[in-house]
A and B are shown apart, each in its own frame.
Chain A
Amino acid sequence: MDLFEWIALILKLVFVLAAVLNTVPIVVWFERRGSAWMQGRVGPNRVGPFGLMQPIADVIKFIFKEDFVPEQASKFFYHAAPVLAAVAPLAAFAAIPFGSYLIIGDRQVPLQIAQLDVGILAALAFAGLEVYPVMLSGWASNNKYSTFGALRGSSQMVSYEIGLGLALVSMLMIYGTLDLNAMVKYQEQTLWGFLPSWGVFLNPVAFVIFLVAIFAETNRLPFDLPEGDAELVGGYHTEYGSTKFLMFFFAEYIAMIMASSLLITLFFGGYAPLPGMKAGVDVLASALGFGSVGTQNLWAVVQVLSMIFKVGCVMFFFVWVRWTFPRFRFDQLMDLGWKILFPLALINLLVVAIFIAMLGG
């Protein structure tokens, strides 16, 4: 790696980190006001215009709260859990492409932090780490509610990872690659001339399974049993206060953003805008007098914006679902995971395999 690549890498890192961390307050704001709107309320509208400063007020409140550590907690793991919670989903962003490439000078800069051939596995590996903070915090706080939360969390995440994995395998068979960038390239084609060949149209069953599974993986309602505010006080983070709770809070939203990026990359064409838009951008670029380099750079910017837009839509869906559905009971949750999603994913996998074999893929 020469100096240029180092600088490009650092800039990309800063961009992704800043984009993700700045999305969190916006989502938190939307979670609070959006939930209010869905329930016919107004929501926090006093701090700043439209209540936009509310997340900042929340953060300041958390920072000035008492930093409490329970006497019986095992200190190292107790403090490691929130850190891990925030770091694991952030690391997964390294594998997710957020645009094709920019041309700077005469060099191509791919808009992805790590160009891995097995990108999907890296993303999943880091996403799978999310079960550890739940278990560590629940165990280390030495509190029965926390332990219950951790128990539920770990069994739930392990159960849904199977459905998630099988849905993923069927998509991998369709795309024939583990490289997330290549998947997006595949989805840039069109289906029967008008439909973008997005994963959701190719394999809707896998999409539904994947969607349900990421809700369970990120502990969002209707699968928020590890937190279970009603019966477990706060679940695995009962014993966490002030900045440590803030870390968990941030981590939850970072994990959501990560999960939605993965969902988009697999099922909604990743950073690829709608098929017709390439021609539109070409026209715009020629009208502005851009050369081929300028056109590509403009196109890359459009791709990044389309990625952000799609993530926004999925985040809206996350909030929308949370304020619509009640929580599952734990046995129902397990039933859904093992008796419905697992066989469904297997059958779906089989059907996809037969289709691919018949089409001579």
Chain B
Amino acid sequence: MAIIVSRKERFLDKLYIPALLVGLKVTFRRFFESLFLGRTMTIQYPEQKREYSQRFRGEHFISVDANKVENCTSCYLCQTVCPAECITIIAEERPNDQNPYGVRKEKRPVRFDIDALRCCFCGFCEEACPKDAIKLSRNYEMAVETRAQAFYDLDHLKREVKGRG
């Protein structure tokens, strides 16, 4: 049900002119502050970047161990959990020379593709992964020139990312 609110308007309020002048004063003060005191909200993007949270979910990467071998064991958990169905893994047995830890990394991905155009950056893959292999870095500058470049393969995912990037 609508409630009718009646406000008492004095003659001065009905003239509107005082209220208009107040509005003009606000914008003029803003004008002065931005022009002469440089108090603007704008982030001059390519030179100046916004500081995002440590938990920001950006471009994916796969962590590697000391021998530059990916930590992924092709368990398919990330592929299964992914709501956008953008991860495609093909698994095979890992050669023994790549597997100094014995039983811990028996399988390896032959192909590990992420279609970043479909990804919704939910971070479920990262949560599901038992090996902390797939992770989302904090890089948000993912513009590419062709669609094929937005299709991340294993080489791209294994790139070096410091901290969380």
Q: Which residues of A contact B (CB under 8 A)?
A: 34, 36-42, 208, 320-321, 323-325
Instruction: Give the A-B contact count at a CB cut-off of 8 A.
Output: 42
Among the 9-residue stretches B35-43, B106-114, B121-129, B147-155, the one with 4 or more Cβ atoms under 8 Å from chain A is B35-43
Which of B17, B27, B39, B42 is most buried by chain A, counting CB atoms within 10 A of its CB? B27
Which residues from chain B contact A39 at a C-beta distance below 8 Å? 30
Question: Known contacts A40-B40, A41-B42, A42-B42: does B31 contact A325 (CB below 8 Å)?
Answer: no
B54 to chain A, nearest CB (A): 28
B47 to chain A, nearest CB (A): 11
Within 8 A of A (CB), among B90-110: none
Taking a contact as CB atoms under 8 Å apart, the answer to whether B23 and A320 are in contact is: no
A319 to chain B, nearest CB (A): 10
Taking a contact as CB atoms under 8 Å apart, the answer to whether A36 and B34 are in contact is: yes
Which residues from chain A contact B117 at a C-beta distance below 8 Å? none
Q: Which residues of B contact A (CB under 8 A)?
A: 17, 20, 23-24, 26-28, 30-31, 33-35, 39-42, 44
Apart from A36-B40, A37-B34, 7 more pairs, CB < 8 Å: A36-B34, A37-B35, A38-B28, A38-B30, A41-B41, A324-B26, A325-B23
Question: Known contacts A320-B24, A324-B23: does B31 contact A34 (CB below 8 Å)?
Answer: yes
Return the contact of A42 from the options B17, B24, B27, B44 (Cβ within 8 A): B44
Which residues from chain A contact B41 at a C-beta distance below 8 Å? 40-41
* Minimal Cβ-Cβ distance residue in B for A45: B44
A34 to chain B, nearest CB (A): 7
Taking a contact as CB atoms under 8 Å apart, the answer to whether A324 and B24 are in contact is: yes
Query: In the bound complex, what is the Cα–Cα distance between A357 and B20 (angstroms)?
Result: 35
Q: List 25 A-B contacts (CB under 8 A).
A: A34-B31, A36-B40, A36-B42, A37-B35, A37-B40, A38-B27, A38-B31, A40-B33, A40-B34, A40-B39, A40-B41, A41-B34, A41-B40, A41-B41, A41-B42, A42-B34, A42-B40, A42-B42, A42-B44, A320-B24, A320-B27, A320-B31, A324-B24, A324-B26, A325-B23
Query: In the bound complex, what is the Cα–Cα distance between A41 and B33 (angstroms)?
Result: 11
A218 to chain B, nearest CB (A): 18
B93 to chain A, nearest CB (A): 55
Query: In the bound complex, what is the Cα–Cα distance between A37 and B20 (angstroms)?
Result: 19
Which residues from chain A contact B42 at a C-beta distance below 8 Å? 36, 41-42
Which residues from chain B contact A37 at a C-beta distance below 8 Å? 30-31, 34-35, 40
Which residues from chain B contact A36 at a C-beta distance below 8 Å? 34, 40, 42
Which residues from chain B contact A324 at a C-beta distance below 8 Å? 23-24, 26-27
* Minimal Cβ-Cβ distance residue in A for B43: A42
B76 to chain A, nearest CB (A): 48
Taking a contact as CB atoms under 8 Å apart, the answer to whether B28 and A40 are in contact is: no
Which of B33, B39, B40 is most buried by chain A, counting CB atoms within 10 A of its CB? B40
Nearest 5 interchain pairs by C-beta: A37-B34, A42-B42, A324-B27, A38-B27, A38-B31
Which residues from chain A contact B30 at a C-beta distance below 8 Å? 37-40
Taking a contact as CB atoms under 8 Å apart, the answer to whether B24 and A321 are in contact is: yes
Query: In the bound complex, what is the Cα–Cα distance between A34 and B39 (angstroms)?
Result: 14
A144 to chain B, nearest CB (A): 32
A347 to chain B, nearest CB (A): 15
A26 to chain B, nearest CB (A): 16
Which residues from chain B contact A320 at a C-beta distance below 8 Å? 24, 27-28, 31
Which residues from chain B contact A42 at a C-beta distance below 8 Å? 34, 40, 42, 44
Query: In the bound complex, what is the Cα–Cα distance between A39 and B20 (angstroms)?
Result: 17
Which residues from chain A contact B26 at a C-beta distance below 8 Å? 324
B42 to chain A, nearest CB (A): 4
* Minimal Cβ-Cβ distance residue in A for B23: A324
Which of B20, B23, B42, B44 is most buried by chain A, counting CB atoms within 10 A of its CB? B42
Which residues from chain B contact A34 at a C-beta distance below 8 Å? 31
